[in-house]
């Protein structure tokens, strides 16, 4: 079994079930199947065959879903790319991935005009129509195809191609905090097994309506709010972008049952003045992932909206989910939960030996969801895949009951005078202060101690906190070497498209400022 086969079978068994909704329009599984079959036929006529790579530069629209499953029907490999990346970032991924075909939003037309430079190996570009002015610009160019017309140009392909479980399904490029991003090769077994196991673990069913406001080109959303619900025959409520007002509207109006977000989204929803418990009451399951959820935010959100948030953990290289808090028994605040079915997690020392329960080490993972490797990067692959285990780079610990806790990224650890300081521990203390909306902690160079703790804070508008007040507050809750010695107040913190706070950007900004002095 694989995902295109699974969704095809759902369309046969329950054709009138709503597969997804977008901008007020509903699309049944039968309609989804028809669109997939027609696009697969059109792609085949343009020469797309098994193993070909297709760059997909589309946000949360039906174009993404249809292209994904039509490409898989032919055995083609999808390369999802964030459409708001810079032209140089997009160009690198498109060329590095050896994509020969591109499906992209119309508003990217300035790059189409320079495609011979940016995308010299792309043979065909299909434009997804979303904006009238952008469409007009695209129509002035030669050799561009348009999604709506293109999908009607060929006979549908209704039969399913035989796919080997080890065939690549997606090449998913990591964020690339150091150097160029790496393309994680996820096979059909990887994406299918994780969608199956997550959907089953979360007890998704045909009655669920799942809010998809996370960017679905990101692996967390792709698995948890797209592939898992479609595998289970549920309905995906596609939102083009995240907005607290729109999230509450769609939950209230469509009686949504599942919401998945990153901590920043939960913070925005919590801070939104017009959000009420009644707006959220249809949600049976709230899921958090992408980064660690501050415990104080978890408790505040749960109290305000009378819900329970289940936190999980994953990474691109594992398709992504490896751990989740159980939904049918005890949930442990601050924990990423337990290993999901078919996936094994353990914590090891620098030699790869499992450490005793409660001790900190590196989290490693194995299971059918773990990637094949990085595309055209054997050395980088060998550095993280060892003896069947994926080394995550995250520092963690496991308790006696099998619950795991992420301490922090290995590379984010701060060493102050020989003592280890994990940013998350300091951030958890800061988030408990009622005047702090958001915060991030990083290590900065220090002449005496090697590194010092630097806190970057967003305050509530009416707050009068100053640097010394923050330091005094931390001294009450942290040992001396963990207390921030630098405090920076800012209007906002840098984030990626999923809302994850980027500590690396803060470090780079401080470095640039110091160089300019």
Give residue 516's pLDDT. Answer: 58
Q: Is the dihedral of CA 14, 20, 24, 27 positive or negative?
A: negative
Give the helix/strand (H/E) hosting 339: strand 338-339
Q: Tell the CATH topology of 413-516.
A: GMP Synthetase; Chain A, domain 3 (3.30.300)
Rounded CA-CA distance 168/171 in Å is 7
The domain ranges of the chain are: 3-7+28-163, 413-516
Give residue 517's pLDDT. Answer: 56
Q: Which two tokens stand for residue 132?
A: 């009238």
Give residue 375's pLDDT. Answer: 98
Q: Tell the CATH topology of 3-7+28-163.
A: Rossmann fold (3.40.50)
User: 406: which residues sit within 8 A by CB, 6+ positions away?
Assistant: 292, 313, 336, 363, 394, 395, 396, 424
Q: Give which of 130, 86, 89 is closest to 107, Cα–Cα.
A: 130
Give residue 474's pLDDT. Answer: 96
Give residue 509's pLDDT. Answer: 79
Q: Give which of 391, 341, 345, 342 is closest to 368, Cα–Cα.
A: 342
Q: Which phi and psi angles does 330 have, rounded to 5°?
A: -55, 135
- Do domains 3-7+28-163 and 413-516 share one topology? The answer is no
Rounded CA-CA distance 426/446 in Å is 18
Give residue 177's pLDDT. Answer: 47
Instruction: Kindly report the pTM of this predicted structure.
Output: 0.89
Q: Give the number of other Cβ atoms within 10 Å of residue 311's Cβ.
A: 24
pLDDT of the chain, 517 residues: tens digit per residue: 999 999 999 999 999 999 999 999 999 999 999 999 999 999 999 999 999 999 999 999 999 999 999 999 999 999 999 998 889 889 999 999 999 999 999 999 999 999 999 999 999 999 999 999 999 999 999 999 999 999 988 899 998 989 999 999 999 998 654 467 899 999 999 999 999 999 999 999 999 999 999 999 999 999 999 999 999 999 999 999 999 999 999 999 999 999 999 998 999 999 999 999 999 999 999 999 988 899 999 999 999 999 999 999 999 999 999 999 998 887 899 999 999 999 999 999 999 999 999 999 999 999 999 999 999 999 999 999 999 999 999 999 999 999 999 998 888 889 888 788 889 999 999 999 999 999 999 999 888 888 999 999 999 999 999 999 999 999 999 999 999 999 999 999 999 878 888 888 888 877 666 655 5
Packing angle of the helix pair 295-305, 423-431 (nearest 10 deg): 40
């Amino acid at each position: 079994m694989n995902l295109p086969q699974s969704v095809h079978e759902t369309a046969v068994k329950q054709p009138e079930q709503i597969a997804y909704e977008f901008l007020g329009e509903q699309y049944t599984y039968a309609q989804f199947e028809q669109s997939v079959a027609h696009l697969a036929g059109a792609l085949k006529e343009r020469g797309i065959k098994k193993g070909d790579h297709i760059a997909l530069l589309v946000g949360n629209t039906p174009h993404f879903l249809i292209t994904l499953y039509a490409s898989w029907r032919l055995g083609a490999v999808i390369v999802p790319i964030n459409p708001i990346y810079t032209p140089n970032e997009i160009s690198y991924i498109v060329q590095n991935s050896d994509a020969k075909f591109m499906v992209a939003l119309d508003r990217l037309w300035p790059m189409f005009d320079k495609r011979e430079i940016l995308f010299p190996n792309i043979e065909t570009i299909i434009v997804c129509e979303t904006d009238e002015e952008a469409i007009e610009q695209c129509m002035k160019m030669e050799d561009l195809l348009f999604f709506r017309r293109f999908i009607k140009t060929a006979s549908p392909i209704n039969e399913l191609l035989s796919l080997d479980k080890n065939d690549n399904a997606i090449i998913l490029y990591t964020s690339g905090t150091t150097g160029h991003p790496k393309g994680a090769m996820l096979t059909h077994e990887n994406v299918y097994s994780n969608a199956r196991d997550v959907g089953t673990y979360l007890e998704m069913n045909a009655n669920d309506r799942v809010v998809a406001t996370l960017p679905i080109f990101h692996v967390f959303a792709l698995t948890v709010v797209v592939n898992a619900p479609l595998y289970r025959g549920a309905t995906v409520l596609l939102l083009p972008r995240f907005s607290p007002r729109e999230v509450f509207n769609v939950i209230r109006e469509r009686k949504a049952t599942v919401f998945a977000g990153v901590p920043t989204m939960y913070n925005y929803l919590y801070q939104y003045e017009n959000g009420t418990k009644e707006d959220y009451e249809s949600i049976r399951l709230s899921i958090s992932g992408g980064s660690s959820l501050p415990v104080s935010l978890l408790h505040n959100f749960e109290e305000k909206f009378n819900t329970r948030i289940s936190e999980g953990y994953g990474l691109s290289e594992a398709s992504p989910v490896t751990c989740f808090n159980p939904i049918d028994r005890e949930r442990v605040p601050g924990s990423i939960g337990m290993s999901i079915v078919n996936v094994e997690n353990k914590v090891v020392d620098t030699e790869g030996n499992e450490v005793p329960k409660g001790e900190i080490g590196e989290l490693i993972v194995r299971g059918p969801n773990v990637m094949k490797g990085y595309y055209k990067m054997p050395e980088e692959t060998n550095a993280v895949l060892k003896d069947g285990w994926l080394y995550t780079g995250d520092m963690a610990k496991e308790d006696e009951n099998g619950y795991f806790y992420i301490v922090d990224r290995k590379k984010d650890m701060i060493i102050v005078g020989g003592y280890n300081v994990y940013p998350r521990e300091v951030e958890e203390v800061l988030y408990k202060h009622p005047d702090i909306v958001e915060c991030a902690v990083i290590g900065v160079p220090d002449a005496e101690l090697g590194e010092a703790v630097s806190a970057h804070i967003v305050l509530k508008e009416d707050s009068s906190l100053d640097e010394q007040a923050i330091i005094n507050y931390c001294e009450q809750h942290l040992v001396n070497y963990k207390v921030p010695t630098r405090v920076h107040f800012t209007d906002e913190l840098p984030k990626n498209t999923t809302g994850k706070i980027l500590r690396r950007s803060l470090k780079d900004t401080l470095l640039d400022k110091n160089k300019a002095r």
